[in-house]
Amino acid sequence: MTECDLNDVQALDARAREILLLNDRGGYTVPTDGLYPYQWNWDSMVAAWGFAAFDLDRAWQEVERLFSGQWPNGMVPHILFHRPDPGYFPGPDVWGTAGRGPLPSSGITQPPVAASFVRRLWEKDRGRPEAEALFEPLLAWHRWFMEWRCEGGAIFVTHPWEAGRDNAPDWDGAMAAIEPAGVQPYTRRDTAHVDASMRPTRADYDRYIWLVERGRRLGWDEAAMAEGAPFRVADPGMTFILMGACRDLAALGRGLGRDVAEIGEWIGTLERGAESLWNPAIGAYDGRDLGTGAFAGALTNASYLCWLGGVDDERMLAKFDGMLGRVPYPVASLDPADPRFDARRYWRGPTWAIMNALIGLGLAEMGHAAQAQALRRRTAQLIAEHAFAEYFDPLTGAPAGGGTFTWTAAVWLAWASPRARGA
């Protein structure tokens, strides 16, 4: 697609808006009908960014709905179960979080992109009371991360679902060490919606559910769960996303006349933590099992989030340029040269528009305009050719997973579309 195909662009813009409205459940958005029938944390914040392209009131409302589920300890859950829906497993009964937060929810969190998108909303719409009201809840959530998910300055996850990159190779070592004995019999729902070859395996799911059952048994009490925790993997994705979100929250705080000294300290800590995730064996930022100290040895799309975190790394830029020349539909969630690469299986190969947008925003912020623009154009081409799928085969562009997907539509409207102004 060239920038001249204005009719195509207008049609795609209209379709993307239609998808956001289709997935709107009245103040919050589901990722896609059927497969994911609830409000997911980071999907929803990307949705807010997309809504901001045509309806700022609706955008703010999306953020407010997410924070209406914040727990008293500051944690913002990865799923809010506003209304029961039997189409998704595991639902609220399996999580068993009653009494922990104001709404039925999961017991873990997800990548904290909220502050970055709230900053963008506020920059379009200064003076809104919502930004004032959201500052403290955002601060509390970041503080929770620094207290419960930070070791040596790097952010770790206690469940693969927390990272958002569910079956990425980063977790393989720690997952293999779990013996999922005693998991209650369950029926997966995801494979009723999407071909099993595009989803995590049965072995993955047994361990996902085993970890959920452990959290439920311990009442989702962070101190209790930290003791003898069976799964703790430091994640470059979470570390860079929180670092970028802290910078955005500090900018917002300064704009609102708030004290941001605490946030400045967190950024320093996270910068030191990011250095500990540099794996010289692959020349990239990498996931690290905190139980064994072992790196995953995986160059993933999360490795390229360094710029989003504000880390201007020339070594990663050289890698990125080489990758753009080799992968037809970048950015693959796992380097295609890795023997674990699987072009269709979820976070073990496919390209995700949301990750491209985060990488592109970081590149632009660090002054790498040519790379940012190249990634933006190629993401636009991918979506124009293959529509608003959940993810895409990085070698052929073929759509995979769920269709009419919220974050792909939102990324189009806010960033990839040649008419986007939100970047």
Rounded distance between C-alpha atoms, residue 249 and residue 135, angstroms: 8
The dihedral through the CA atoms of 318, 322, 324, 329 has a sign that is negative
Q: Are 66 and 28 in contact (CB under 8 A)?
A: yes
**Whose Cβ is closer to ligand 2M8: residue 279's or residue 406's?**
406
For the CB of residue 19, give the shortest distance to ligand 2M8 in the complex, in Å. Answer: 13
Q: What is the nearest approach in angstroms of ligand 2M8 to the Cβ of residue 204?
A: 10
Query: Closest distance between ligand 2M8 and the C-beta of residue 301, in Å?
Result: 12
Which pair of tokens denotes residue 180? 């999922």
Element (H, E) at 56: helix 56-67
CA-based max dimension of the chain: 59
- SS3 at position 150: strand
Cβ distance to ligand 2M8 smaller for residue 50 or 153 = 50
166 is catalytic: yes
Alpha-carbon gap, residue 324 to 286, rounded angstroms? 19
**Residue 402 C-beta: closest distance to ligand 2M8, Å:** 8
- Closer CB to ligand 2M8, residue 345 or residue 378? 345
Contact 333, 351 (CB under 8 A): yes
Residues contacting residue 185 through CB under 8 Å, at least 6 positions apart: none
Tokens of 150: 């930070």
Residue with tokens 């609706």: 58
Report the nearest approach of ligand 2M8 to the CB of residue 311 (Å): 23
Counting every residue, how long is the chain? 423
Least distance from ligand 2M8 to the Cβ atom of residue 369, Å: 28
Residue 165 Rama label (left phi>0; alpha psi -120 to 50; beta): beta
Query: Scanning the structure block, which residue is given the tokens 């592109």?
Result: 360
Binding stretches for ligand 2M8 (CB under 6 A): 31, 36, 40, 42-43, 78, 161, 164, 166, 190
Q: How many other CB atoms sit within 10 Å of the CB of residue 124?
A: 13
Q: Which of 166, 204, 248, 393 is catalytic?
A: 166
Residue 342's CB: how many other CB atoms inside 10 A? 18
Give the CB-nearest residue to ligand 2M8: 164
| Tokens 């940012």 sit on residue | 372
Q: State which amino acid sits at residue 206.
A: D
**Tokens standing for 64?**
């407010």
Hey, what's the torsion of the CAs at 180, 183, 189, 190, to 10 degrees? -10
- Smallest distance, Å, CB 269 to ligand 2M8? 25
Residues 195-217: b if buried by 16+ CB within 10 A, e if exposed: eeebbbeeebbbbbbbbbbbbbe
Q: Considering 62, 204, 286, 390, which one is annotated as catalytic?
A: 390
Shortest distance (Å) from residue 323 CB to ligand 2M8? 21
Is 206 noted as a catalytic residue in this protein?
A: no
Give the residue numbers annotated as catalytic, written as ranges: 166, 390
